[in-house]
Amino acid sequence: MSGVVRLHHAQITVPPDQVAGARAFYLDVLGLSELPKPDSLIARGGFWAAVGDQQLHVGVEQGADRTATKAHLAYEVDDLAAWRAKLEARGITAQAGEPIPGYDRFEFRDPFGNRVEFIAPIVDLVRPHARCRASFLEAVEEFKPEGRYLEVSPDTFDSYLARLLAMESNPPAGYVADTALWLMRGDHFIGRLSIRHHLNAKLERFGGHVGYELRPTERGKGYGTLILRLGLEHARRLGFRRVMLTTDVTNERSIRVIKANGGTLQDRIRVEGRDVDTFRWWIEL
C-alpha cells in the first residue's frame, strides 16, 4: 500500500518588493542554502532554499495578512539561547511557545510577518514512556549484536515497559526495587540508567546502586558523564547519601566517567563467572 514518504517542502510568501530582504534573512541570517528554481517557475519570482533535505519555497504574494495565520515553519536548532540572542539583536522579538515534552522552543515573526518557530531537543533523564517507543526499539536493534535486549520487540514493548516501571515498587522475588530512567534527546533514546534502592549480596559484588548503558551509536560522545551526573542528582532526590558503582578493570571509558563524577575506588575483586576483575567505587552525594 502506498503512503506519504516525507515532507518535501514548505512554502511561505513575501510581498513582491521584499524578495531581496527575504533572501538576506533566510540565507544570510538563518543560514539556509539557496536551491536553483526550475526554469518554468523562475518568472513567478521568489526563491527556493534548503536545510538538509527539507526545502523552503519562498513565493511572492501581494496583500496577504501573514499575521493572522497559525501556519508556520519550525526549524530544529542546536543552540536555542544563541539563536534567541542573535534574533533579538536584530530587533526580532522571540516569544516562548507552549511546552512540548522533551523540547524547548520559541517563536517569532520574520521581517515579512511569517510565523517561524525554533525548537531544540532537551537532553534529560525521564521515566520510560510509550512516546519513546520508536527510538527505543531502534536502539534495541543496535544492542542485539551484543546479546542484549533479545526479548524486546515491537510486539513485546508494552509488556516490557510495564515490567520496567513495576520494578520501582513491586519487584519480583529475588530482585531489589529499581528506578529506571531513560536519557532522551527530545524523542531520541540515548541510553538508560538504573538506581537500585538497596544492595543485596550479588549487587554488593557486581552492579552496585547505579548502572547505566548507552546505545552503541551514542557512545564516545560525552553522554556517559552526563547520564551518570543526572542519575546521581536523581539518587540524591531519592534520599541516597552515597552510592556504589562497579566496572570491569578493563573498561577505561566507564572508569573515566566514574572518576569525572567524583568516584573513589574501594577495591579490586574477582567476581565468580566474570572473565576480568571488577573495580568497586563509591560516590558521595
Closest alpha carbon to 49 in 69, 62, 30: 30
Total residue length of the chain? 285
Residues 173-219: pLDDT tens digits? 989 999 999 999 988 999 999 999 999 999 999 999 999 999 999 99
Domains of the chain: 9-121 (3.10.180.10), 128-284 (3.40.630.30)
Residues 6 or more apart whose CB falls under 8 angstroms from that of 176 comprise: 196, 197, 198, 199, 200, 203
Residues 97-122: pLDDT tens digits? 888 778 899 999 999 999 899 988 88
Mean pLDDT of the chain: 92
Verdict on whether the full-model pTM lies above 0.85: no
Asked if 280 contacts 270 with a C-beta cutoff of 8 angstroms, the reply is: no
Residues 35-58: pLDDT tens digits? 998 888 889 899 999 988 889 999
